Amino acid sequence: QKEVEQNSGPLSVPEGAIASLNCTYSDRVSQSFFWYRQYSGKSPELIMSIYSNGDKEDGRFTAQLNKASQYVSLLIRDSQPSDSATYLCAVVSNRDDKIIFGKGTRLHILP
């Protein structure tokens, strides 16, 4: 059974600090990794995608992937109250191209 695990939170971070969100996955042949942000009552929207080991930066967001340890993380620098949302980690296996979402981490940025 392939799984994607996230701490459900809530994770409370002061405004301006770095928020660190973590995700682990069980399927070793996973190849594609995504972070989606979902505001309450809204649809998920893509924040970052990452496919190879290392860091990928886009503005205030950095995705980090470590395939050997089977984890992917998302760092949000200079956190803003507007970053308060649920962040969903999604992993796609190279085996069957099926996407599996984690249950999400609720992030709360304290003004």
Partner 1 sequence: DTAVSQTPKYLVTQMGNDKSIKCEQNLGHDTMYWYKQDSKKFLKIMFSYNNKELIINETVPNRFSPKSPDKAHLNLHINSLELGDSAVYFCASSQDAHSNQPQHFGDGTRLSIL
Query: C-beta of 11: minimal distance to partner 1 in Å?
Result: 15
CA nearest neighbour of 75 among 17, 9, 2: 17
The distance of closest approach from Cβ of residue 91 to partner 1 in the complex, given in angstroms and rounded to an integer, is: 9
Q: CB-wise, 7 or 38, nearer to partner 1? A: 38
Q: Which two tokens stand for residue 94?
A: 């190279």
Q: Which residues contact 29 (CB under 8 A, 6 or more apart)?
A: 93, 94, 95
List of residues contacting partner 1 (CB under 8 A) = 31-32, 34, 38, 42-46, 49, 51, 86, 88, 92-94, 97-101, 103-104
